[in-house]
Structure 1
Amino acid sequence: MTQTVHRPQWPEDFRDRLTGPLPEFRELLSAAWHGGFRPDTGDADQIPVLRNGGLPRAGTGQTAVTWVGHSTFVLQVGGLTILTDPVWSRRIPGTRQRLTPPGLAWSDLPRVDAVVISHNHYDHLDAPTIRRLPRDTAIFAPARLGPWFTRRGFRRVHELDWWESAHLGEVRFDFVPAHHWSRRTIWDTCKTLWGGWVIGGSVYFAGDTAYGDRLKQIGERYAGDLEVALMPVGAYEPNWFMKASHVNPAEAVQGFLDVGARRMATMHWGTFLLSGEPLLAPVQAARAAWAERGLPREALWDLAVGETRGFTGGA
């Protein structure tokens, strides 16, 4: 895989892909208050952390999923080690220090074969963590985000539009739509795309998304193939602000049903203070919504930070 050339047919921005209003100044102030100045961290000591040292390795023909925290997973798929939206930093701009440590020490990582990025918000694209990667690591990024990596010396960068695919070895990486937006500075609103990933045809990583028809479109495309959906369940209060960007726990469960996966793993909670709901509410509400639907308890992977689960197959 060689360095990807920026494609001229992409538009200057992707505002036409928006399905909700962009945050206004007062909404950004609300988010900043919750992230940086919210006085009560509540039950942070009750967020489950399972950090035994080392990474359990997937056996032949197995896929393993390890939650590091927030939207960061270590995926072992088809013999590859893949990171999703890697954040090992203690804090990100606009928030206080993380509530829980990364579920896996950086020194315990095996060689990382690939990284997938859902979008450029600071809690998903963390420059200090990216700098720690070897520059020959394969990077899979949304359209027009590739130059961010090539400027930092990465040589194997692949930019994708929605529904496009690329391969690393025998593993396919599909970039799929999401209901979200992008911004890293005041000058680059929606200049790069956002989305989720289907990895190896079996793992759906949602990134950040609100609820909407694009989840059903993913389900139609992969009908019955997805073994696990990695779904965000946190950062949904206040609802008047967050609903255009993030699913709440009940919507996450509905989104899991829409994409048609066999299991759902929870993420995007218990790491950074980004919103107003109580710290344990995301996973508690996800469990309640799951039970209300009568779904099998063993298919809900409400992982502890650092926990690994897996299944047979998935390449």
Structure 2
Amino acid sequence: MAQPRIRRALSRANPYYDGPVSDHFDGRRFHNPGGHPLNGFSALLRWQFGKDTRARWPQQVTSPHQGTRPEARVDDLRVTMVGHATLLIQTAGINILTDPHWSERASPVQFAGPKRVTQPGIAFDDLPKIDLVLLSHNHYDHLDTITLRRLQAAHTPQVITPLGNDTLLRRLVPGIRVSAHDWGAAVPTGPLTVHLDPCHHWSARGTRDRAMALWASMTIEGPAGRILFIGDTGFDRGRPYEVVRRHGPLRLAILPVGAYEPRWFMSPQHQDPAEAVEGFLRCGAEAAIGHHWGTFQLTNEEREAPPQALAAALAARGIAPERFRALHAGEVWNPAGQGAAG
């Protein structure tokens, strides 16, 4: 148990969260217990100005599935890729968005920073009524203030997020209905329960708030089965996948497969497609969707490299390709296990 006087002294330096010391919170910053240390500023400079080659992406790519119009409600399970880490999950009559992002840039400003290459697979005005938002962490490609304000104005959804992000969201989106939870929490919402668990990542909105809000994977438990959503993670010896097994069998795992090069820099925070396949096997999911690729160029690999590497990793493990699909914007996952349609 932490000494309260020490905790209070440290917490004044954290603008988002004031809570007890734990195995992943030192009173000021969160961390990955037993995990690989995250890169510092010198490593960032080495990546940005070193010899690693950055692929040239096309300025614009139109998905063949663009303009999907979702159903109003779905009783069983239907998942539509919007783009990057944004997916519409429809199950048990509840409409859920993960890490919603409709803006043109993943950046603190809209005149600079990573620009959208592929437009959202669902137009914002074509969204069904959104009941729930799952927000995995606060990086700009996952927590988009502009989109969250639009959702608040049009849908007033409930938001579930890890510790500290609630403080940030209340500042950025007045009136937002948000609750923040620690790893190990089980949050009931209607017919569903959302479990928050560890993943190997970090957080920041600027240069002075690194790791001051928590990150998490989320498992949705409901009548149509369990769905794992990981917004970002390093593989971390497979530990993020082992822990979710305690919730029971997974019907679907939604896993990041992009933004992984160069490996020397990215491996602590972003798994590569081969690691995603290993994670898929370890968590025991029936099927998987690959996301976090093809929308914003954040790292060095070519735009089409993630689905190509995913296909190779599946073939090497003897896994049928329809079991793990890297979906394009607007593409719809078929819960019958016949791949995707849309």
Q: TM-score range by the shorter chain?
A: 0.7 to 0.9
- Matched-pair contact (CA < 8 Å) for 1:219–1:258: no
The question of 1:240 aligning with 2:240 is answered no
Gaps of 5+ in 2: 1-15, 22-26, 337-342
Q: Give, in angstroms, the shift of residue 59 of structure 1.
A: 4.0
Q: Give, in angstroms, the shift of residue 182 of structure 1.
A: 1.0
Q: Which letter does structure 2 place at the counterpart of 1:273?
A: Q
The question of 1:289 aligning with 2:313 is answered yes
Instruction: From the superposition, tell whether residues 310 and 168 of structure 1 become closer, same or farther in structure 2 (CA, over 3 Å).
Output: farther
Q: Give, in angstroms, the shift of residue 121 of structure 1.
A: 0.7
Which residue, out of 74, 85, 91, partners 1:77?
Answer: 91
Instruction: From the superposition, tell whether residues 18 and 44 of structure 1 become closer, same or farther in structure 2 (CA, over 3 Å).
Output: farther
User: Higher Cα Rg: structure 1 or 2?
Assistant: 2
Question: Which residue is 1:109 aligned to?
Answer: 127
Question: Which residue is 2:114 aligned to?
Answer: 96
Gaps of 5+ in 1: none
Q: How many pairs does the alignment contain?
A: 303
Q: Give, in angstroms, the shift of residue 52 of structure 1.
A: 3.6
Q: Give, in angstroms, the shift of residue 299 of structure 1.
A: 1.2
Between the aligned partners of 1:129 and 1:25, the Cα distance in structure 2 is 30
Q: Where do residues 207-222 of structure 1 align in structure 2 (5 Å cutoff)?
A: 207-212=231-236, 213-222=238-247
Instruction: From the superposition, tell whether residues 79 and 96 of structure 1 become closer, same or farther in structure 2 (CA, over 3 Å).
Output: same
What secondary structure is seen at the aligned counterpart in 1 of 2:146? helix
The question of 1:28 aligning with 2:49 is answered no
- Matched-pair contact (CA < 8 Å) for 1:56–1:308: no
Q: Give, in angstroms, the shift of residue 214 of structure 1.
A: 2.2
Which residue, out of 164, 170, 189, partners 1:168?
Answer: 189
Instruction: From the superposition, tell whether residues 30 and 200 of structure 1 become closer, same or farther in structure 2 (CA, over 3 Å).
Output: farther
- Matched-pair contact (CA < 8 Å) for 1:31–1:274: no
Which residue, out of 138, 142, 155, partners 2:162?
Answer: 142
* CA-atom RMSD in angstroms: 2.5
Q: Which letter does structure 2 place at the counterpart of 1:249?
A: P
Instruction: From the superposition, tell whether residues 228 and 143 of structure 1 become closer, same or farther in structure 2 (CA, over 3 Å).
Output: same
Q: Which letter does structure 2 place at the counterpart of 1:8?
A: G
> Which one scores higher on RCO, CA 8 angstroms, separation ≥ 6?
1
What secondary structure is seen at the aligned counterpart in 2 of 1:187? coil
- Matched-pair contact (CA < 8 Å) for 1:18–1:180: no
Q: Give, in angstroms, the shift of residue 6 of structure 1.
A: 6.7
Which residue, out of 255, 260, 279, partners 2:279?
Answer: 255
- For residues 221-267 of structure 1, the C-alpha deviation after alignment (integer angstroms, 9 at most, x for no partner) is 134x2111111111111111000101001001001111111101010
Q: Give, in angstroms, the shift of residue 9 of structure 1.
A: 2.8
Which residue, out of 168, 184, 188, partners 2:209?
Answer: 188
TM-score (norm 2): 0.81
